[in-house]
Amino acid sequence: MQVKINIDGGSRGNPGPGAAAYVICDLKGKILSQEGYFMPHCTNNQAEYTALKLALIKCKELGASELFIEGDSLLLVKQFTGEYKIKNPDLQSRMQVIRKLAQGFTIHIKHVLREFNKAPDALANKAMDEEQSVGFNPIAYLPEDDEILAAPEKNNVVNGVEVTPVKRANKPTASKPAPQKRPHQPSLFD
């Protein structure tokens, strides 16, 4: 399946509270998934990288094979294609994760001007305004280190589609034995 993806990320304060967003459509323009992922503290570049990472995770979930990705971060696009070196150690480690997730996809990525990337920008701003992740058909499960638990809020419409606070599926965990109660220990004054 071929999909078109627009990604964006932002940070208010750089670093500060931010959000990463992706909008995934079929080639006819029907939105398959969109998510604004709230990040309590990040830089603009960390948010842009996270947007690409989340889009790749969702594309695997959707069963997509060929991705046409557009983003307004020239730095991210050039670093993904290898035209620019990645000097920042944090971004280097994020790119390693992205490259691992990208395996198995045919990827076409290009830089677009901000005015042609309004849909994920609106979603990222909505997540920052609400201080919680919002989405339509969001990623069902993220590893715990990526989880942001958000309090439920009212329903909203972004990019013409109703988005709701993101609720992730619980990761199955091995059952832990119940802690044993200690016998009552009388105090010195009992």
Phi-psi region of 113 (alpha: psi -120 to 50; beta: other; left: phi over 0): beta
CATH topology classification for 2-165? Nucleotidyltransferase; domain 5 (3.30.420)
Tens-place pLDDT, residues 56-114: 999 999 999 999 999 999 999 999 999 999 999 999 999 999 999 999 999 999 999 99
Tens-place pLDDT, residues 160-189: 777 777 766 666 555 555 555 555 555 555
Pair 46, 92: CB distance under 8 Å: no
Q: What are the C-alpha distances in Å from 16 to residues 19, 45, 47? A: 10, 12, 11
Supply the pTM of this predicted model.
0.78
Domain spans in the chain, listed from the N-terminal domain onward: 2-165
Tokens of 124: 């990222």
State the sign of the Cα–Cα–Cα–Cα dihedral 58, 60, 65, 69.
Answer: positive
Higher pLDDT, 169 or 38: 38
Pair 7, 55: CB distance under 8 Å: yes
